[in-house]
Amino acid sequence: MYHLLLSVHVAAVFASFAIVIAIGLEKPSRVQLLLLLAGISSFLDGLGYCFELMARTEEEAILAIKVEYLGLVYMMPFLLLFMARCCNYEIHNAVKIFFLLFAMFIFALITTVETHPFLYQEYYFDADSELPHIVSTKAP
């Protein structure tokens, strides 16, 4: 089961990378640039999860989660801006800045997860399960 999941996920990461390359090879407009940034974020999210599946130590798994969140926290703001632009809906600059600053804040929490209890109260790496992963107790 593990190898099947990993194989499917690796194929999905390659497909995501191919989509990013296809969008990037075009001369992107502002709308396409937002889609490209969302695609890169999606690629990083998938790549991080793939690394998490292949991790053998807690340090590797935490680094993989950091890569995963680098894509995850920026994907939604970029998709929101992309959809708003496609629908000719203007989002105020203050709201855009808030979304990006909030994403940066969450990513800062993730990158320093070892030093504070704000995101995870505790966590450990479960290497003995069928799918090796980080087991965590969420904090507020």
CA dist., res. 15 & res. 11, Å (int) = 6
**Could you tell me the CA-to-CA distances from 27 to 18, 21, 31, 32 in Å, in that order?**
16, 12, 11, 9
Tell the residue number behind the tokens 């340090």, with chain if given.
59
Q: What is the pLDDT of residues 68-127, one digit of tens each?
A: 999 999 999 999 999 999 999 999 999 999 999 999 999 998 899 888 888 777 888 887
- What confidence tens digit (pLDDT) does each residue in 126-138 have? 878 788 778 888 7
Q: pTM for the whole thing?
A: 0.86
CB 66 within 8 A of CB 44: no
Q: Are 106 and 69 in contact (CB under 8 A)?
A: yes
